[in-house]
Structure 1
């Protein structure tokens, strides 16, 4: 059975995108990382939020633009949206609700990870009790504003267990299990 994983790069002050969803800051931190390379090999499907799917791309203007993990991964993508495009997108299935998206992505992933992309969909998965793990690639930059890693108005207490902590010259990588 597939494991659901929210993988994300975050600034030291807790932002995964800058103001307006800007992802350009991320480009300089997308260098070689053995943790990322190992993760890519274990991803069987993507579950992507609609804003992430149609949003800014840190690889804009390069041959890597629009490709998962900058072109390092290929496979089935499931985008959660209420407004699927009229024209089909090759390799992408648009789904209208979280339960269907998770079920389809898990079936496609087999015994690999369903990699979740997007803060809103990650929060929805966490709220629904279907998020298993989180891996955060923390980079040495302060953005000051933007999209937070996890935002829950009114607060909440989500218990996590540290599974792994690694470092590269550009990132600190923290992998956690969601405790239920």
Structure 2
């Protein structure tokens, strides 16, 4: 049965994107990473937020733009949106609600991971008690502003259990399980 995993790279001060969703900061922190390479082989499907799908891309302006993990992964993608494009996108299914998107992504993933891309989708999965794990790559940079890893006005406590901790020249990688 598929597990739902939120993976992202985060600045040390807790931002996964800069102001306005800018992902250009991430480019210098991409590089060989055995943790990422290992988990990409276990991804069965992606569940992607509309904003992430439509342009928050650290590979903007390069041949890798628009490709999951810069072309390092291919497979079925399910994009949450109320405004699907007029033209079909090969390998991509547009869904209007979280439950439908999760069900379709889990079916497509089989025994692999449904990898969530996008802070809002991850928060929705967490609120629906559907998020199983997080893989957070902490980059050695402070952004000061932007899109937070997890932002809950008024606060909420989510218990996590560390499953793994690795270091690379580009990041410190935390693999965590959501404690239910």
Compute the displacement of 1:62 (Å).
1.2
Map 1:1-180; keep pairs closer than 5 Å: 1-180=1-180
Deviations along 1:71-128, one digit per CA (max 9) or x if unpaired, are: 0000000000111111111110000010000000000000000000000000000000
Give the count of matched residue pairs: 180
5+ residue gaps in structure 1? none
Where 1:101 maps in the other structure, the secondary structure is helix
Compute the displacement of 1:55 (Å).
2.3
Compute the displacement of 1:7 (Å).
0.2
Where 2:5 maps in the other structure, the secondary structure is strand
Looking at structure 2, the residues matched to 95 and 63 of structure 1 have their Cα atoms a distance apart, in angstroms, of 27
Looking at structure 2, the residues matched to 95 and 62 of structure 1 have their Cα atoms a distance apart, in angstroms, of 28
Large movers: runs of 4+ above 4 Å: none
Compute the displacement of 1:15 (Å).
0.2
Where 1:176 maps in the other structure, the secondary structure is strand
Deviations along 1:118-153, one digit per CA (max 9) or x if unpaired, are: 000000000000000001000000000000000001
5+ residue gaps in structure 2? none
Cα RMSD for the two superposed structures: 0.6
Name which of structure 1's ranges 29-38 and 50-59 shifts more when overlaid on structure 2: 50-59
The TM-score with structure 2 as length reference comes to 0.99
Where 1:25 maps in the other structure, the secondary structure is helix
